[in-house]
Amino acid sequence: MRRKARLQDGPSDKGVAYDRKACSRPGLRAWVPAILWAGFIFTMSTTYFSAANTGRIIEPIVRWLWPSVSAPTVGLIHAAIRKLAHFSEYAVFCLLLLAGPLCSKPVIAVLLCGGYGLSDEFHQMFVPGRTPALHDVAIDLSGAAFIALVRASVAYLPRFDFSRTRPSA
């Protein structure tokens, strides 16, 4: 119960790194970074970023870095980079939501990211060269959940107080 009280009252002398009172940034301004990032995610769902188009960039770089790599390995690396992009995009999206309008609502932020991931895959049904996949939504959701868990964990870490000075010898 004591830990919950510290989070609601703000940082204590032990130093909780997260203050719920500082979370209240009302208005549209708090949403702007997340909305811009959602637009970036939408852009990444277009034909320009299909597997065929990203392969034209990623595969030559992989072959340059690792000349003896086999074709199946290049394809595997390309797929891994694309899935890491899904994870990263939604981790950043969740972080922007948690840093702004949904500061004290991590579950809602993760669910919003999951909903946007579903709508993104729905959008891809109508984009030539793109195919929707529910496992991509799972990757999106895992990126959002990961960053929410990291942020919640960091909130419980003690902060170092730089204002205290050491006594001179």
Q: What are the extents of the domains in the chain?
A: 28-155
The pLDDT assigned to 7 comes to 44
SS3 81: helix
| Among 85, 70, 79, 73, CA closest to 52 | 79
pLDDT bucket at 167, cuts 50 / 70 / 90 = low
**Alpha helix stretches (DSSP H) within 100-133:** 106-124
Q: What is the pLDDT of residues 80-133, one digit of tens each?
A: 999 999 999 999 999 999 998 988 899 999 999 999 999 999 999 998 888 889
Confidence bin at 155 (pLDDT 50/70/90): confident
